[in-house]
């Protein structure tokens, strides 16, 4: 399924509605009832009010995110954070010693603005392809395309909690996109997230009903 929207909040609510009405239920390994829609693609044409879904979640007082500053730091710092099993920043900027951003993506796109090779990965088979490992990255890869002065971002996410996870994920994706765009002297363009498993959990259903019930879509 594909959702293309100019408004971030509307895209999020459309995705929640799609999973709620068309998803299939199963019980996961932790005993939670999970409603899943496979292969959901969301393209954001405009990134204005990118933090609106985070604000909506925080306003419920039931689920609270870290500060925007902490979310940004997690995405842009090359250092591991002991409070997390993994951080995307450390894998983007220090993947087994390789700075995928400053030593590859930025120089590549400066040299060849039409390149289709500006890809970074977060999944590390040496660390993550371990049976029964407690936690591994949900975000698998990102690809950056510089077209007509705008930097477009596409990412693949293997497992995406669209209610609580996606709002922070899309903000962090934009943080990295904006960081690279600034280095290249261009503007951030679209963001597309392809979620292999887009899902919600039963304990979120009532909160989701309230959110999509307030949607104008």
Q: What is the pLDDT of residues 94-137, one digit of tens each?
A: 999 999 999 999 999 999 999 999 999 999 999 899 987 778 89
Q: Is residue 207 part of a domain?
A: no
Closest CA to 140 of 116, 159, 156, 127: 156
Q: Is residue 114 part of a domain?
A: yes
Q: Is residue 21 part of a domain?
A: no
- Across 41-59, b (16+ Cβ under 10 Å) vs e yields bbbbeebeebbbbbebbee
Tell me what pLDDT residue 60 has: 82
CATH number of 184's domain: 3.30.572.10
Q: What is the pLDDT of residues 111-121, one digit of tens each?
A: 999 999 999 99
Characterise 98 by phi-psi region: left (phi > 0), alpha (psi -120 to 50), beta (else). beta
Query: Are the CB atoms for 32 and 23 separated by under 8 Å?
Result: no
- What is the SS3 assignment for 145? strand
> Structure tokens of 59?
């306003």
Confidence (pTM) = 0.93
Q: Is residue 89 part of a domain?
A: yes
How many other CB atoms are there within 10 angstroms of residue 68's CB atom? Answer: 16
Tell me what pLDDT residue 61 has: 77
| Residue 63 banded pLDDT, cuts 50, 70, 90 | confident
Query: Are the CB atoms for 34 and 74 separated by under 8 Å?
Result: no
Query: Are the CB atoms for 139 and 122 separated by under 8 Å?
Result: yes
Tell me what pLDDT residue 79 has: 83
Number of domains comprising the chain? 1
Tell me the average pLDDT across 37-59: 96
Q: Is residue 205 part of a domain?
A: no
Q: Is residue 16 part of a domain?
A: no
Q: Structural domain of residue 70, as residue ranges?
A: 2-6+38-195
Q: Is residue 142 part of a domain?
A: yes
Tell me what pLDDT residue 125 has: 94
Q: Is residue 200 part of a domain?
A: no
Tell me what pLDDT residue 64 has: 86
């Amino acid at each position: 399924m594909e959702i293309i929207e100019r408004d971030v909040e509307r895209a999020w609510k459309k995705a929640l509605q799609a999973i709620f009405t068309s998803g299939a239920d199963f019980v996961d390994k932790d005993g939670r009832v999970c409603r899943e829609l496979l292969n959901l693609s969301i393209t954001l044409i405009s990134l204005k009010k990118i933090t609106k879904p985070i604000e909506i979640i925080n306003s419920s007082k039931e689920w609270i995110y870290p500060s925007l500053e902490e979310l940004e730091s997690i995405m842009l710092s090359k250092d591991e954070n002991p409070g997390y099993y993994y951080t995307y920043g450390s894998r983007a900027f220090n993947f087994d010693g390789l700075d995928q951003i400053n030593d590859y993506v930025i120089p590549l796109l400066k040299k060849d603005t039409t390149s289709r090779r500006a890809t970074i990965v977060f999944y590390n088979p040496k660390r993550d392809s371990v049976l029964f490992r407690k936690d591994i990255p949900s975000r698998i890869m990102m690809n950056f395309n510089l077209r007509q002065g705008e930097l477009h971002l596409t990412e693949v996410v293997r497992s995406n909690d669209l209610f609580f996870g996606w709002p922070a994920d899309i903000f962090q994706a934009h943080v990295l996109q904006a960081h690279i765009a600034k280095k290249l002297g261009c503007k951030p363009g679209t963001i597309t997230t392809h979620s292999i498993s887009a899902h919600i959990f039963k304990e979120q259903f009532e909160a989701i009903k309230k959110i999509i019930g307030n949607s104008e879509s």
